[in-house]
Amino acid sequence: MKIKLDENITTQVAPVLSNLGHDVHTVSSEGLVGRPDEDVWLAAQAEHRFLITQDFGFADIRRFSPGTHWGIMLLRLRVTNQAAIAERLSDAFLREDTSIWSRCLVILTETKIRVIQEA
């Protein structure tokens, strides 16, 4: 899977996901830190990348309707330190069939993964 990690996702996750066979880019490494969400979104879409973020603005399915983009994962974790984020993402990508996440909104919590597909 081609993935873009938003600036609010620790860069420690990039090598973990890369080691699982994913092609990972980060907002940080691309000089997009501090840029508007629209810039990050356009970069992810231009590169056909699945965006992983904690930014709740990307959960608006009226604006980011499933099936109209390359996919979004929204992390909704109570503990948001770097270690917790890296551990939860690593576990999800190891255990789940990520191929079904393409073009969907995926909401990841400590205990659940909700996949919202196009209507």
Q: Which of the 8 DSSP states describes residue 101?
A: G
Local structure of 107: helix, strand or coil: strand
Q: Which domain holds residue 26?
A: 2-116
**Tally of structural domains, the chain:** 1
Residue 9 CA to its chain's centroid (Å): 8
Rounded Cα–Cα distance for residues 56 and 41 (Å): 13
Model pTM?
0.94
Residues 8-62 have pLDDT tens digits of 998 889 999 999 999 999 999 999 999 999 999 999 999 999 999 999 999 999 9
